[in-house]
Structures are given as C-alpha cells and as structure tokens.
Amino acid sequence: MSRKGKLTLERKLSLTGWAFLLPATLLILIFSFYPMVQAILLSLKAGRGAQAHYALTNFTRLLQDQTFRQCLFNTIFYFIVQVPIMLILALVLAVLLNNPRLKGKAIFRTMIFLPCATSLVSYSMIFQSLFSTNGFINVLLTGLGLEPVRWLEQAWPARIVIVIALIWRWTGYNMVFYLAGLQNIESSVYEAATIDGASPVQQFFKITVPLLKPTILLTAIMSTAGTLQLFDESMNLTSGGPGKATMTIAHYIFETSFVMTPNFNYSAAMSVFILVSVAILSAIQMKIGDKRD
Amino acid sequence: MTRRARSMAPAYIILVIASFLSVFPLYYMAVGATNTSMDVTSGRLIPGTHLVENFKSLISNQNLGVAMWNSLRNSTVITLLTLLICSIAGYGFEIYHDRRKDKLMSILLLAMMIPFVALMVPLFRMFSGWNMINSWIALVLPAISTPFMIMLFRQSARSFPHDIIEAARLEGLSEIRIFFQMFIPVMKSTYGAAMTVTFMNAWNNYMWPRIVLQSNDSITMPMLVANLKSGYVVDYGMLMLGVLICTLPTAIIFLCLQKSFANGITGAVK
C-alpha cells in the first residue's frame, strides 16, 4: 500500500515536471522546428499552383546565380577574417583583465563591453558616418598627411569596414565569456607554473587555452552561426554596396523574399544552404574541440 | 619604477587602447547628437549647441513617441514572458529530471543551431496565414522560448539546494509555489543576467520586426533609426541623436545590471 502511494507521488512529481517544461517546449517546436521543416519542404518545391512539384531546381539555380556566389564569397570572407581576429583579441583582453595585480579592472571591463549595448542598426549608422567619404576617418587621415580612402564606395575597403565594425561590436561580448571561464581556473595552477619557471606566454598556451577549450568552443560556434546570418550590417552600413560587393547571404534572402518579387521557394533554398553550413561547421568545430591532446 | 610595475605596463597600454577604441565611436555619436550635420561629417569632437534643433527635426521627421512606446512595450512583454517560460522550463528539466526529460532537453538544444534566417520565410507565411502581420503577438511568440535561456536556468537550478524543496514539501507547499516562493528569490542574479540579455536582444532586434511589422503605427526604435537614413540628404546630427536615444535604454540597463550579468554568465559557463 505504501509502495503504491510512493509510486503515485513519483508519478505526480514527474507529471508536474512535464507541465513546467511544456510551454517552452511547445513554443520551440512550433516556432523553430516546424518552420525549419517547412523551409526544407519549400526549398524542394518548384512551379506554382497546380504545377507545383518536388524538384531540385532551386538548388541548381543557386549554383548558377552570380549574386548568390558574390554573397557567399562575402559571407565566407567575413567569417574567415573576422571570427579568428575577434576571438583572439577577446581572449588576450580577458587574460590581461584576469591578472590579479591589475588595477581598474571593472572600468576597463565596462568600457570594452559597452559596444554590445548598442543595437546593430545604431552602430551600423555610427560606422557609416565615421567612414563616409567626407567623414571623420578621412579627416583624420588627411590630417596625418595620408590619402583619404573612399571607404564605402569601393568593394574591398567596404568589406574591411564591415569587418572592423563587427570586431568593434562583438569583441567585448566574447571577452565576458572568457572572463567567466577564467574564473573557474584555480590561481594555484598559475602559481605552480610560475615556480616551475614557465613564462607568461607558455602559461597562456599550456594552461589557459587548454582549460578554456569548452568556452572557446562555445564562442566559436556562436560566432560562426552569427556570421553566417549577418544581416543588419550589410543592410544598414553599406546597403550591400557598392553594387553587391558587401551583401551577405541573409541580406540576399531578405531581398528575394520581401523586396523584389517574392520567390519564397528560392529564398528557402538559400536558407537551407545556411542551415546545412552552420550544422557542418559546428560539427567540425565540436570534433576539433573534443580532441584530447 | 619597480620591476613588477614595469612588467604590467604593456597590459595597461593594451587595455587603455582597447577601452579608447571601444568608447570612441559612442563618444562620437553622443557629441554628434549636439552638432549640425556638417560638423558631424567634418569630424568635430566637441559638444555643440544644435541638440534642440536636432530633436525638433527628429520629432517632425519621425514618430518618436510611437516608436519609443512600441519598443518599450514589445521588449518588456518579451522579457517578462521569456523569464517566466524559460525559467520554469529550466527548473522543470533539472528538478524533476529523468531519462526522457534529459533526452528532450538535448533535442531542444539542437534548435540553438538553427539560424533565424532559415526560419523567417516560413514564419512569415505562418503569421500571415493567421492574419497576424502587424500584430505584436507575431513579434513576441517566436522570441519567448530559447534553448539558451532554458539551459541557463537549468544550470542554475542544479545549484539550488534540494533540502529547501524537501522542507517546503513537508510544510505542504505545492510544487508551483515552491518555484515561485523559493526558487525565484534565491536565483536573483541569474534572473538579472537573463533579463539583461533578453531585453537587449528584444530591443535591438531589427530583422524580424522589419518583416512582420509593416504599418507605420507598429514601428520600433531600430526601425526608426534605419528610416532616418532614407532620403536624399542625410542629416547626420539628427541621425546621431536618433542613435543616441535608441542606445540609452539598453546602455542604462547594462550599466545597472552588469554585476549580476557577469555572475549569471559565470554560472552558465561552468
């Protein structure tokens, strides 16, 4: 009798748990997984109305679309150049800030994190103004006796402005994660290493980097997903220009879905491309991150 | 100079440069808000006297009051619902965990990998099918349950002492009241971190609001800032003021809650 009572109590508690997690679970199923399946189905459909059928035409069209290739190139460029620079910078700043002998820690941390409080649209506007042809950066360059650059009117300078802007916006954000991770490393580990005669650089590569691996992995995956979906900067800082020289894939998806004559099937194919890319890159990063030395 | 102090010098130099570069564009924005468009582009770095004029052209150009109210309402509703739904789910996943719940959690975590661009077209079709375009419900529903937040609260529930729960059960408190009366007050710093992140994201979001809110009455602050740039001549003084007003709420929240933000993230990374 008492045994049966215990079982029902356990069941009751388990059901309470299910009830607690049900709303969040349903919302994720309805607004993340279901639309993901829809996107895949949409991308596989060709033709309109009664002629609609399943085919791979949207994906073959992707391969031939010059604009898509340009956007893919731009997105890969931002990813390859910006993510490593930003993560290394964030890690170095976090290690410097973690030094127990450093004074004014809180002020430095606050200032370096502050860019994260600005919205993506806002900071795009600030950088657009800073780098405009008659803007502050060119005034500065002229003052230093250098040639002004038409930053936003040429393909490569415009791409570089986007990279600079991204590094400015996100370095402090990643630094906070590293700072948090560093707090879990006992300071006695470093003391022992110092006694053994390890230089600060050796300590960085032999202690800090290996112990921070899970955090580095987390930030690498977040930055990968973030860069592959870059939208606001392309839309507001450069408007994708000059021409389509700085446009990202997410910006192009937005254009094909909501600005030009809507072609949902084709834009769904592009979004499935991003979905698969993020999955593959995250899997690779996890594989590398998992390796034990 | 002692040897010790000298060895710290490079660290200070790097941190001062990094701090300067981080704050300078924000200083440039704040000063720009008080200058004429000409002065902003020519790189004037001292405060001017054009603030009132910039404000007047801003409110005659855009519906600042409506955008501010919409942004405040949307972000507050999203933040409150996210905290409630995700924290109770995280608590549920951890306190009542069994094999099936753990499995479900790892499936939900996969949703973190789904890029939002991949969802935006189907979501748009879904909400237009429900006649919810321009309604703030369409803005709120996809935003209020995120695997990251559930994970954050599940992680913090792990450090919540089981003795408290047992004692409360013996006193006859219902499970839901244990959550509201015991868990929430203890986990203040996690809620602070979650609130900062959620409010900032909700306030700063641009893509989804831009897609789903198409009438002028539902405009949000980032959309207002983006609108300031359209037109033949951009008034940079007015633009910088718009940017400043759009940035203030999130900056204030961050500065007030940064301590609990740092603590909350530390809990999540552990």
In chain A, where the domains are located: 2-43, 65-290
> Whole-angstrom Cα distance, residue A206 to residue B122?
47
Range scoring the smallest mean pLDDT among A15-29, A276-290, B123-137, B199-213: A276-290
- Find residues 274-293 of chain A whose CB sits inside 8 Å of chain B: 274-275, 278-279, 282
**pLDDT, tens only, B89-125:** 999 999 998 899 999 998 998 888 788 888 888 999 9
Which among B217, B128, B223, B37 is positioned nearest to A119, based on CA atoms? Answer: B223
**pLDDT, tens only, B2-45:** 555 557 888 899 999 999 999 999 998 999 888 888 888 777 78
- Torsion angle of alpha carbons B169, B174, B179, B181, nearest 10°? -90
> Whole-angstrom Cα distance, residue B129 to residue A240?
31
Over chain A, what is the mean pLDDT? 86
- Find residues 85-124 of chain A whose CB sits inside 8 Å of chain B: 89, 92-93, 96-97, 99, 101-102, 107-123
DSSP string, A91-129: HHHHHHHT-TT-SSHHHHHHHHHGGGGS-HHHHHHHHHH
Give yes or no for A203 touching B (CB within 8 A): no
Closest to B117 (Cβ–Cβ): which among A28, A215, A250? A250
A65-290: what fold? MetI-like fold (1.10.3720)
Q: What is the CATH number of the domain that holds B239?
A: 1.10.3720.10
> Whole-angstrom Cα distance, residue B178 to residue B165?
7
**Best mutation target, A9, A13, A31, to test chain B (most B CBs within 10 A):** A31
Closest to A126 (Cβ–Cβ): which among B25, B117, B175? B25
Closest to A20 (Cβ–Cβ): which among B18, B89, B123? B89
Q: CA geometry: angle at B102 spanning B97 and B104, to 5°?
A: 120
Half-sphere exposure (Cβ direction) of B216: Cα atoms closer than 13 Å: 6
Total number of residues shown for chain B: 270
Q: Name the packing angle between helices B3-32 and A66-97 (round to 10°).
A: 130
**pLDDT, tens only, B41-73:** 777 788 888 888 889 888 888 889 999 999 999
- Which residues make Cβ contacts (< 8 Å) with residue B98, sequence separation at least 6? A14, A17
Closest to B118 (Cβ–Cβ): which among A31, A39, A130? A39
Which among A107, A76, A119, A112 is positioned nearest to A94, based on CA atoms? Answer: A112
> Whole-angstrom Cα distance, residue A39 to residue B67?
32
Please tell me the distance in Å from A46's CA to the nearest CA on chain B. Answer: 16
**pLDDT, tens only, A136-172:** 888 889 889 888 888 888 889 999 999 999 999 999 9
> In this model, does residue A107 exceed pLDDT 80?
yes
**pLDDT, tens only, A1-18:** 445 555 688 888 889 999
> In this model, does residue B160 exceed pLDDT 70?
yes
Q: What pLDDT is recorded for position B1?
A: 45
Contact residues on chain B for A257, CB-CB shorter than 8 A: 120-121, 124
**Best mutation target, B29, B114, B190, to test chain A (most A CBs within 10 A):** B114
Asked whether the beta carbons of B121 and A275 are under 8 A apart, the reply is no
Burial class of B122 by CB neighbour count within 10 A (0 to 12, 13 to 18, 19+): buried
Q: Amino acid identity of B228?
A: L
Provide the residue range defining the domain that includes B256: 3-269
Burial class of B17 by CB neighbour count within 10 A (0 to 12, 13 to 18, 19+): exposed
Asked whether the beta carbons of B257 and B188 are under 8 A apart, the reply is no
Q: Which residue of A has its CA nearest to B257?
A: A110
Q: What pLDDT is recorded for position A1?
A: 45
Q: Between residues A88 and B36, which one has the greater pLDDT?
A: A88
